Structure 1
Amino acid sequence: MATPLSAARQLAALKAEGCKVVEYKSWRSNNRNHKGSWGPVHGVMIHHTVTSGTDSSVALCYNGHSSLPGPLCHTVGAKDGTLYMVGNGRANHAGLGDDDVLRAVIAERSLPADNEANTDGNRHFYGIELINLGNGRDPWPAAQVDAAARWAAALCRAHGWNERSVIGHLEWQPGKIDPRGFTMSSFRTRVKNLLANPPGTGSSEDDMPQYINLGRTAGMQLSPDVWDAIEWDTEWTDQPGDHATGGSQFLHGPALYTGEIDIRVSGLPVGEQFQVRLSEVNDGEYTTNHPIGELIGTAGDTFAKIPITGRLPSGRGARIRVKHWHSEPVTVTGVLKVLVWAT
């Protein structure tokens, strides 16, 4: 059993961990303690806000709204890595969750599936809201995720917990999806890395993948019997050096990657064949072609999800190539979603 940290101890722990902290309004007395118990605390919970904009998001988490009074968490994590303290005490963030999950957090062991909502999480968890739309396209800057990991590590260190005391809202309450855009497994690895070093000295970055989300939103007309590389015209999430707008190469080795390409083909007759593959390229020359994913034309447009997973050697890039054999015009659009670990 752990007694909640005082406001002063929270600040000291966060600053010692290397966090940039802003005290927002009267956060030290902003709580829901009159509605129920605060503590004992057993862990920390990660959320995303489903909002954009720092000022409005911080104000919302401090004040709440008509159907859910604030504070909606204890800390808000901005995209630039700044942490805003908005609550101290019981907060409306976790809601009802699974008692089996709580027992696993207390024991610091692997989490079971959350299939019940029978336990008051607002009593037992610190909560952070990370400013993100949660749509799979809003980027997660490295500074923001690192600050969130340091926030979690600071509280865990102060209580003597390990990374197993860190959970996502989606692991606590059935039906929740937050945080969306990184895995809690990789996030816990970040916290573990920090806790393995003295406060403020470690790095949290080892296992956090880069998320690439590109699109071909304007129909790309294809010639028959030719492998054409899809040229991306939209960047939702990308990192400098990994993709030039309007180009086809989206990845550079050495790296591990996993994801999918969602394809939409227009003009393909019923029963006709369409192929998709990932190809590796080195200095403009194709070196390795990966296995083919095949679509068969259906009435109207034809859709498919093609998984892409592998290891890209140093010096090589990756492109998505497509091919058809129909004599009439065929066009393709698509969305690429890939997690990448530099090696």
Structure 2
Amino acid sequence: MAISWLADVLRGAGVQVVEEGDWLSRSAGSSFSPIGVLWHHTAAPSSASRPAPALGICINGRSDLPGPLCHALVDYHGVFHVISANRANHAGRSAGSGPIPAGDGNTLMVGWEIDYAGDGGGGVRQEMTQAQYDASVLATAAVLDRLGRDASYARGHRETSTTGKIDPSFIDLDVMRADVAAAMGGAPPTEPPSGGTRLRATVGNLNVRTTPSTSGAVVASLANGTVMTVDCQAVGEAVTIGGNTSRNWARISSPASGYVTCHYVETGPNLRVDACPV
């Protein structure tokens, strides 16, 4: 099916849209019946003066993969460049993640290419801008609502890839899904403790763990979760909740300098990390 409604739905959600050429006809095949949204990063360094460096490739494709390579590219300023209303070559084979089954990811998912370098693209380490994040959350919520699906149908490419993709880098996907759920009118993410700073995007080589032990010390209780004290530590620590160590700590989005105490709030399947200034 064609998603010819895409530009109008995005505008209705308050997202700035640019329609790129004959996007209604641009296609990478006929098998397209999306049930979810997949997030990517382009690995191209973007900037305020060069906000959409990967736009041409996303439209026209590469020598090894014909375009379109996504349904929309999200530029540095959070503008959605709508590229295709039909099947796009963005997802490859899906290994299955959450409610997204294994199968042809290009059939199953609408794809956003968020234009930033990520973990070393072009020799640059770059995180998603806040404008890109906010627009991607709004757009994802609007499309999932149109598809009749909830926020669990939003996935990152690294969650569905069968070939070891790492995108989108420096983003806690559970947190991003929680923000999509909030945008869809669900329970909003828990606000950070007083003095804290909500973390969304991530940069640097930092992680967090509980203290004084791996199980943590409960310092306060909330109606919908538990706040625990943690310290900023090196990457590689795993979180232990009730003996379950299957979830790793989300990276924090600030350098360790000035942030020695952090908190996380566990709310069901979602993990939100907050950094508290010294």
The alignment's TM-score, normalised by the length of structure 2, stands at 0.66
Say whether 1:211 aligns with 2:199. no
In the alignment, the residues of structure 2 paired with residue 256 and residue 86 of structure 1 have an alpha-carbon distance, to the nearest angstrom, of 45
1:149 touches 1:191 (CA, 8 Å); kept in 2?
yes
Residue 152 of structure 2 is matched in structure 1 by 164
Residue 219 of structure 2 is matched in structure 1 by none
Q: In structure 1, what residue type is equivalent to 2:155?
A: I
Residue 73 of structure 2 is matched in structure 1 by 76
Q: 1:193 aligns with which of 174, 182, 188?
A: 182
SS at match of 2:177: helix
In the alignment, the residues of structure 1 paired with residue 70 and residue 202 of structure 2 have an alpha-carbon distance, to the nearest angstrom, of 26
SS at match of 1:45: strand
1:62-107 CA distances to partner (integer Å, 9 max, x unpaired)? 1111111110000001121111011120100000122x437x237x
Higher share in strand = 1
Q: How many residues align?
A: 212
Q: By how many angstroms is 1:19 displaced?
A: 0.2
1:108-257 correspondence to structure 2 within 5 Å = 119-135=103-119, 137-174=125-162, 175-196=164-185, 208-209=199-200, 211-213=202-204
Q: By how many angstroms is 1:139 displaced?
A: 2.7
Residue 113 of structure 1 is matched in structure 2 by none
In the alignment, the residues of structure 2 paired with residue 188 and residue 55 of structure 1 have an alpha-carbon distance, to the nearest angstrom, of 24
Name structure 2 gaps, 5 residues minimum: 192-197, 207-227, 236-248, 261-271
Say whether 1:37 aligns with 2:31. yes
In the alignment, the residues of structure 1 paired with residue 70 and residue 153 of structure 2 have an alpha-carbon distance, to the nearest angstrom, of 17
Q: 1:135 to 1:342 in 2, by over 3 A?
A: same
2:79 touches 2:135 (CA, 8 Å); kept in 1?
yes
SS at match of 2:7: helix
Q: In structure 2, what residue type is equivalent to 1:144?
A: Q
Q: By how many angstroms is 1:55 displaced?
A: 3.9
Residue 227 of structure 1 is matched in structure 2 by none
Q: 1:195 to 1:208 in 2, by over 3 A?
A: farther
Residue 10 of structure 2 is matched in structure 1 by 14
In the alignment, the residues of structure 1 paired with residue 231 and residue 76 of structure 2 have an alpha-carbon distance, to the nearest angstrom, of 25
In the alignment, the residues of structure 2 paired with residue 142 and residue 256 of structure 1 have an alpha-carbon distance, to the nearest angstrom, of 26
2:259 touches 2:275 (CA, 8 Å); kept in 1?
no
Q: In structure 2, what residue type is equivalent to 1:92?
A: N
Name structure 1 gaps, 5 residues minimum: 107-117, 216-254, 263-306, 311-315, 320-338
Residue 105 of structure 1 is matched in structure 2 by 100
Q: 1:340 to 1:4 in 2, by over 3 A?
A: same
C-alpha root-mean-square deviation of aligned residues, in Å?
A: 3.4
